[in-house]
Structure 1
Amino acid sequence: MNTIAALAGRILLSLLFIISGMGKLFDVSGTQVALAGVGLTPDLALPVGLFELIGGLALMFGVATRIFAVLLAGFTLLTILFFHHNLLDHTQVVEALKNLAIAGGLLALFAHRQVAWSYDGLRNRRDRESAARDAEMRAARAEGRAEALSEMPVVETPATRVETITDVDGHPTGTVAVARRKWWQV
């Protein structure tokens, strides 16, 4: 039930930004007038609309959920600062509190990121399955190497070898034990 509630909450939060972003993109001139009215440059109308639309879609489908949740929470708090800062007007206070609650919901989404039914969840599950498969392959290879080593015959090689010393004419004059050189001795 928690995953269904988390999915519903994520979709409802995302719809708010998708619809708002589409409204800004369909009425760019109205958005420019609103931005100019609070002292912001009207050139921000298109980027703000695109940001809201893309951020809302990312939340809806669960793509980079935590990043977009924090970015949209910051955006919503900036909206309070620029548009709803008149605390003497009751309507502005209600709008500021609504935006504050939305930012709180986005930060809760960041903190608890229920990733069920999202791209992030699919990617995490795929990464876990891939890591488990890789671990199984490494274990199987190690078992194969251990089994191959246990089946190899053990060959004792002497630590020294005996060489026959000859004189100038090639006649043997005696024997001497020569220690085998190690691989690091040249």
Structure 2
Amino acid sequence: MSDLAVLVGRVLIALLFVAGFVQKVADPVPAMTLLTDRGLPGVMIWPAAAFNLGAALALIAGWRVRSAAAMLAGYCAATSVFHLIPSDPWQMSIFVKNWAIAGGCLCLAAHGAGRYRLGDLRGG
């Protein structure tokens, strides 16, 4: 049962990043604005979108989950800064959500993919 729970948890976390990819590709302007408002080039959205998709697929497949989850935890922590807008309750909820997702990713990084995974047999 615990391996099934890890699989479902991996997929649910991954779906957030798939949605992030779709959102960035379908309507890049809001995310580009978050970047440019902080003095960063808006084109950084494209590598971020690719990372969202690639890491999500790794979680779903159970391939190199420890590494992917650790990178996703760092990504969530780093990108939370873009949502630290105390005057905007919606952005603050995204800020907190990012830290919660980072926590779930850290659990995956620590414990691995579980039994249902592809590839790396050293613990995913």
TM range (shorter): 0.7 to 0.9
Structure of higher CA gyration radius: 1
- Partner in structure 2 of residue 148 of structure 1: none
Aligned equivalent of 2:121: 124
Aligned length: 122
Alignment partners' CA distance in 2, 1:60 and 1:70: 15
The aligned counterpart of 2:108 is: 109
* C-alpha contact 1:25 1:50 (8 A) present in aligned 2: no
In terms of fraction of residues, the more strand-rich structure is: 1
Q: Judge conservation of contact 2:62–2:113 (CA < 8 Å) in 1.
A: no
**Separation in 2, partners of 1:102, 1:85:** 16
Mapped to 1, the partners of 2:121 and 2:35 lie a distance apart of: 40
The higher relative CO (CA closer than 8 Å, separation ≥ 6) is in: 2
Cross-structure match for 1:11: 11
Q: Equivalences for 1:52-63 in 2 at 5 Å? A: 52-63=52-63
How far does the alpha carbon of each residue in 1:117-150 deviate from its partner, in whole angstroms, 9 at most, with x for none?
Answer: 1114xx428xxxxxxxxxxxxxxxxxxxxxxxxx
Asked whether the equivalents of residues 69 and 110 of structure 1 are also in contact (C-alpha less than 8 Å), the reply is yes
Shift, 1:61, TM fit: 0.5
Residue of structure 1 in register with 2:2 after alignment: 2
Partner of 1:27: 27
> How far did residue 49 of structure 1 move?
0.5
Q: How does 1:1-186 map to 2 (within 5 A)?
A: 1-81=1-81, 83-120=82-119, 123-124=120-121
TM-aligned CA deviation for residue 106 of structure 1: 0.2
What is the rounded CA distance, in whole Å, between the counterparts of 1:124 and 1:41 in structure 2? 39
Distance 2:26 2:89 in 1: 29
Unmatched runs of 5 consecutive residues or more in structure 1: 126-186
Contact 2:6 2:113 in 1 (8 A): yes
Runs of 4+ in 1 over 4 A off after TM superposition: none
Shift of residue 63, structure 1, vs aligned partner: 1.1
| Normalised TM-score (structure 1) | 0.60
Q: Choose between structure 1 and 2: higher helix proportion.
A: 2
| Aligned-residue offset at 1:27 | 2.7
In the alignment, the residues of structure 1 paired with residue 89 and residue 26 of structure 2 have an alpha-carbon distance, to the nearest angstrom, of 29
Give unmatched runs, 5+ long, in structure 2: none
Calculate the aligned-residue CA RMSD, in Å: 1.9
